[in-house]
């Protein structure tokens, strides 16, 4: 259940700054459309030259109001639009699910080589997985959106995963955050999920070997 106080606080904030808030969220939505289009174009180009589509799916999302507020509070920042725009880099998120690990790096490099994409931060959890087994390539970028009277740069988080990585991450979240589990059972689940992550990594490597051998 969402924190009622957090929701009420954000509702009051939105009501007090309706137009600026709506503008900000519109900018993020437009940035998502721009990034999604870029990847769709790259997917078509890869299909043309390599006779296959490296992208299995593209998902976009905007961070919820309660998540925005919680993140600001965690950073000890006041609830203001400048604080949101300047300190939260993952309000707009794109997840690109690829066929193979090699595709992730090829797409990421092609994306970053575009002259209207600015790299802010890169975290490679494929080469350096998190302790829980999570694997993905994360980019924080800025891209321009072109409005009627200005060009505005907007930050977007892009996550790249293989099908196996995405499968694990999606189910890990559902399993780990089940309610009413004892600490002992949670520890057991952590170990089991880490083992599953290792299996997914092996599967990715095996599929890559099979593809290369064709």
By annotation, the residues acting in catalysis are 157
Q: Which two tokens stand for residue 116?
A: 């209207």
**Which string of DSSP letters, residue by residue, matches 139-197?**
EEEEEEEE-SS-EEEEEEEEEEEEHHHHHHHHHHHHHHT-SS--HHHHHHHHHHHHHHH
Q: What's 100's DSSP letter?
A: S
Calpha distance 38→55 (Å, rounded): 12
Q: CA angle, corner 10, sides to 6 and 12, nearest 5?
A: 120
Pairing of strands 92-98, 55-62: antiparallel
Beta pairing class for 92-98 and 151-162: parallel
Q: Decide: residue 148, CB within 10 A, 0-12 exposed, 13-18 middle, 19+ buried.
A: exposed
């Amino acid at each position: 259940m969402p924190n009622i106080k957090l929701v009420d606080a954000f509702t009051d904030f939105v009501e007090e700054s309706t137009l600026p808030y709506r503008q900000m969220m519109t900018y993020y939505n437009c940035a998502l459309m721009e990034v999604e289009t870029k990847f769709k174009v790259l997917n078509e180009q890869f299909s043309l030259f390599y006779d296959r589509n490296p992208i299995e799916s593209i998902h976009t999302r905007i961070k919820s109001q309660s998540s925005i507020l919680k993140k600001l509070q965690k950073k000890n920042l006041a609830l203001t639009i400048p604080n949101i725009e300047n300190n939260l880099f993952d309000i707009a998120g794109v997840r690109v699910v690829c066929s193979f690990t090699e595709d992730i790096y090829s797409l990421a490099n092609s994306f970053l080589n575009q002259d209207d994409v600015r790299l802010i931060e890169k975290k490679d959890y494929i080469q350096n997985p998190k302790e829980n087994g999570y694997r993905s390539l994360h980019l924080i970028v800025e891209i321009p959106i072109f409005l009627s009277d200005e060009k505005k740069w907007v930050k977007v988080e892009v996550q790249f995963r293989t099908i196996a990585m995405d499968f694990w991450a999606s189910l890990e979240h559902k399993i780990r955050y089940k309610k009413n589990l004892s600490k002992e059972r949670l520890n057991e689940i952590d170990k089991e999920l880490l083992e599953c992550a290792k299996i997914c990594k092996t599967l990715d490597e095996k599929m890559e070997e099979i593809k290369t051998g064709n």
